[in-house]
Amino acid sequence: MLRNTTKILSLYTQNTLRKQCLHTTIRTSNAAAKAKLIEKKGLPNWSNEDRFTTDMKIIESTAPLKAYRVMDHTGQILDKAHEPQMSKEEALYCYKKMVQLHVIDGILYEAQRQGRISFYMTHYGEEAMIGSAAALENDDVVFGQYREAFMLLYRGFTMDEMMNQCFSNDMDYGKGRQMPIHYGSKKLNFQTISSPLGTQIPQATGAAYALKLSNSRACTICFFGEGAASEGDFHAGLNMAATLKCPVIFMCRNNGYAISTPSSEQYKGDGIASRGIGYGIDTIRVDGNDIWAVYNATKAAREIAIEENKPVLIEAMTYRIGHHSTSDDSTKYRDRNEVEERAQFDNPVTRFRRYLEHKQWWNQDEEDQWRKEVRSSLMKSFNAAEKRKKPDLNQMFSDVYDELTPNLVAQKQELQELIKKYPEYYSTKDYASSS
């Protein structure tokens, strides 16, 4: 009995083994075919056909991207095909706004030095960025960093509105809550500026997504410097714009300095443009001191963003001629000669002016006249804004939420009592009276 079982068992075992061997043979040849099929199908995280190479090449950085320009540094058009078909009126509007900003910068910088306003930031060297404003529509939402007042001026922000914010008076749209130059304008679609750098980048992405969802046929434009592009928010914002297909134009003002940090200490790669490519974003580098290059690129970017619902990165190469802000003295970290050279050789205002003069659309008299006009109306706004009272004290407690919460009601009451109790410590004569 045992022997039979053993025989049966051994037969079974032999059969099983034979079957297994047969299976193994079939599996081996099937395996090869299957492997080929799987390889062809690919993985979700691997896109291309020819995925493998036997050539071990550790890639060194690639050649830098060239910057697109339309004019040379004297304002001469290099390729007629790229000259924007702008009317004299439109072109002069751009130029006059450029000059207006330049003049405002001069006066407000001095005002800070004289202690009349607490803080200011100039745009010297970056005035050609106004070309981006000309390329957009009023519905396009702007998320700025802090050196983009040209956008507001182009869209019609008045000098009164600017001065009111800088003086934190009762007409300031921001109700005196933030430092000077932290402008915002709902009617001009310019989101209020905040000091933290780069935070606007993923916000611009989200806003663009919302615009896409509502079929608004508008885009967002997001400005930031090459320094802010080191922030994590840059990575987050661009990656999300690419993956979620958002109609946002990322405009990087690479002006060579983040306060005192030169770009050689800010990044090692090929500027900011090379990163866009890494995110799968359409990218172009432009001569940021050439208003026509900025204009053309922005116009093209807007079309891509809106028609194809995808982000575009524009890196505008420019140079910060002025100090970072009134709290900065750039002579401490850079050579005066370097600045003067840039100001003379590659000045965006002069370049554009020469272009206009070539076309006989502008002359010295008109320049003098315009500067005089700007100064005079600016000083009127300046003086009026300076004289105005500050916002009433209730504005300290409103807008934290849509309505005052109980703790704020109680604290507002507490302050009112303190003011009554110690009037010599709490003079309210400079503040508008609460109704």
- Is residue 195 annotated as a catalytic residue, yes or no? yes
Q: Which of 233, 290, 315, 346 binds another protein (CB under 8 A)?
A: 233
Catalytic residue among 195, 327, 433, 434, which? 195
Least distance to another protein, CB of residue 377, Å: 24
| Minimal distance, residue 389 CB to another protein, in Å | 16
85 makes contact with another protein (CB under 8 A): no
Please tell me which residue in 90, 110, 341, 414 is annotated as part of the active site. Answer: 110
CA distance linking residue 178 with residue 48, whole number of Å: 50
Is the CB of 168 or the CB of 347 nearer to another protein?
168
Contact map string, positions 361 to 400, toward another protein, x by CB under 8 A: -------------------------------------xxx
Looking up tokens 């540094």, which residue turns up? 73
Instruction: Tell me which residue has tokens 């745009």.
Output: 123
User: Shortest distance, CB of residue 427 to another protein, whole angstroms?
Assistant: 24
Q: How many residues bind another protein (CB under 8 A)?
A: 48
- The smaller minimum CB distance to another protein, of residues 220 and 254, is found at 220
Catalytic residue among 168, 274, 325, 381: 325
**DSSP designation for 248:** E
If one counts every other C-beta atom within 10 angstroms of the C-beta of residue 276, the result is 25
70 versus 208: smaller Cβ distance to another protein: 208
Q: How far is the CB of 234 from another protein (least distance, A)?
A: 10
Q: Three-class SS of residue 130?
A: helix
Task: Give the integer Cα–Cα distance in Å for 13 and 7.
Answer: 10
Site for another protein, residues 403 to 422, rule: CB under 8 A = 405-407
Query: Which residue, 103 or 236, has its beta carbon nearer to another protein?
Result: 236
SS3 content of the chain, % helix, strand, coil (to 5): 50, 10, 40
| Assigned token pair, 81 | 């095909």
- Rounded CA gap, 113 and 6, in Å? 106
Residue 115 or 406 having the CB closest to another protein: 406
- Residue 229 CB, shortest distance to another protein, in Å, is 15
Distance CA(379)–CA(377), nearest Å, equals: 5
Q: For residue 79, what are the CA distances in angstroms to 63, 66, 75, 292, 317?
A: 24, 16, 12, 11, 20
User: What is the Cα–Cα distance from 368 to 18, expressed in whole angstroms?
Assistant: 102
**By the 8 A CB rule, do 331 and 260 touch?**
no
SS3 of 339-403: the string is HHHHHHHCCHHHHHHHHHHHCCCCCHHHHHHHHHHHHHHHHHHHHHHHHCCECCHHHHCCCCCCC
- Check if 325 is active-site: yes
Contact between 253 and 224 (Cβ < 8 Å):
yes
Residues within window 110-149 making contact with another protein, judged by CB under 8 A: 141, 143
Residue 305 beta carbon to another protein: minimum distance, rounded to whole angstroms: 15
User: Measured from the CB of residue 324, what is the shortest distance to another protein in angstroms?
Assistant: 20
Given 132, 324, 330, 381, which residue is catalytic?
324
Q: How far is the CB of 243 from another protein (least distance, A)?
A: 6
Retrieve residue 194's tokens: 């905040």
By three-state DSSP, how is residue 231 classified?
A: coil
> E strand or H helix at 8, and its extent?
helix 2-41
Binding mask 28-57 for another protein (x = CB under 8 A): ------------------------------
Strand 261-262 with 257-258, pairing: antiparallel
HSE at residue 372, side-chain half, CA atoms within 13 A, is 6
Binding segment toward another protein, per CB under 8 A, in 114-122, 169-177, 320-328, 347-355: 169-177
Q: How many helices (H) and strands (E) does the chain have?
A: 13, 7
> In the annotation, is 110 catalytic?
yes
Quick note: the x/- pattern for another protein over 176-215, rule CB under 8 A, is -xx---x-xxx----xx-x-x--x-xxxxxxxxxxx-xx-
Query: How is residue 196 annotated by DSSP?
Result: S
In the residue annotation, 29 being an active-site residue is answered as no
Shortest CB 247 distance to another protein, Å: 12
Stretch that binds another protein, among 19-27, 251-259, 288-296, 401-409 (CB under 8 A): 401-409
List the interface residues with another protein, window 245-304 (CB under 8 A): none
| Positions that interact with another protein (CB under 8 A) | 141, 143, 172-175, 177-178, 182, 184-186, 191-192, 194, 196, 199, 201-211, 213-214, 220, 232-233, 235-237, 239-240, 243-244, 398-402, 405-407
The set of catalytic residues is 110, 195, 324-325
